Amino acid sequence: MIDFRYHIVSIVSIFMALAVGIVLGAGPLKGQIGDTLTQEVTQLREDRSALRTELDAARKAGVSRDEFTADARARLVGGTLSGGTVALVVLPGADADDVKAVADTITASGATVVSRTTVEDAWVPDDADATSTQSRLATDLRRSLGLPSAAASDSAPLDDVLGAALVSTSGGAVTDAGKRALDALLGAKLIDVDSADLQRAGNAVIVGGLIKGDVAADRDRAANRLAGLAAALDRAGKGAVLASDVGVTGFTGAASVVRAARGDATTARNLSTVDNISLPLGQVSVAYALAQQNGGGVGQYGLGDGVSAAYPPIPAP
């Protein structure tokens, strides 16, 4: 009974307050409330106009900076990697324009892209049979390349195979075992290699893209597997850079190989990453990060989460 009375009193109080507000708003406070609302609306419009002006100015400044960096790119990176050799590895989902821009920047830096390898979607097996098939293939190829046998827990035994075939600290011609390994990977439709005069490179640059799909767990698994491949390419040579474009806050419904690499402490201690290669700044950062790798350094660069700086240290002239 007490609870019922309490609710009745509460409801009556609410209606009384509404009635008083209506009376006051229509009577003695009508003019004051109207003036206040008018002032607030006017101020909001002025604030919106000012913010739009600031946003337009920021966009114009950003476009100007990008245009300057693009036009000055050859001078900014010229000689940075002089005489170096690079294996360009393109991951599933990589944007063709980003790949071209990175390749052009590497060339402008004085290095030579000696191979271009496209990694197919099948590199990340989607069921137990595909996993078993890759393990059997890896057993033979690892033995022929002189690599240690993969541990039973190794879910990506082919990563080191591709790394050893494409990259070495001394570069040079691809070995016969390396050629057989690449042919086997081609035959299994795991990669595609585009090179008229294939050589092993001293460094690797891996260009990735957004990993899409309906199931988040599958996207994350693919991102982690491809980040592991980038780490293997880094181990095989003098250093590697993994580059993609993930934005400042990432993308809904997609995974990022760069974020996966940064999320693994061991990988992040050895492999450099760049997360804004659609921008000229990011493309220049790839060359600078590779130069830093050759000097024994490592870093995570760009505009997204987990970066050590917006861009790598600028190499000495």
Reported as a single tens digit per residue, the pLDDT across 258-270 is 999 999 999 999 9
Closest alpha carbon to 270 in 245, 300, 313, 246: 300
Q: How far apart, in whole angstroms, are the C-alpha atoms of residue 99 and residue 102?
A: 5
CA 109, 169, 84 angle in degrees (round to 5)? 15
Q: Report CA-CA distances (Å) from 180 to 55, 69, 76, 137, 186.
A: 56, 42, 39, 12, 10
Residue whose C-alpha is closest to residue 227's, from 250, 202, 248, 244: 244
The β-bridge relationship of strands 191-194 and 85-90 is unpaired
Q: Containing H/E element for 59?
A: helix 30-71
Residue identified by tokens 């450099």 is: 272
Segment 182-193, tens digit of pLDDT: 999 999 999 999
* Structure-token pair, residue 124: 């990340």
73 φ, ψ to 5°?
-55, -45
Per-residue pLDDT of 22-80, as tens digits, reads: 655 555 555 666 677 677 778 778 778 778 877 777 776 667 666 666 666 778 889 99
| One-letter identity of residue 48 | R
3-state class (DSSP) for residue 75:
helix
- Tell whether the torsion through CA atoms of 101, 166, 86 and 312 is positive or negative: positive
196-212 confidence digits (pLDDT tens): 678 999 999 999 998 98
CA atoms within 13 A on the CB side of 192: 8
> Does residue 168 surpass a pLDDT of 90?
yes
Residue 106 one-letter amino acid:
I
Structure-block tokens of residue 107: 């060339």
Strand, coil or helix: what is 211? Answer: strand
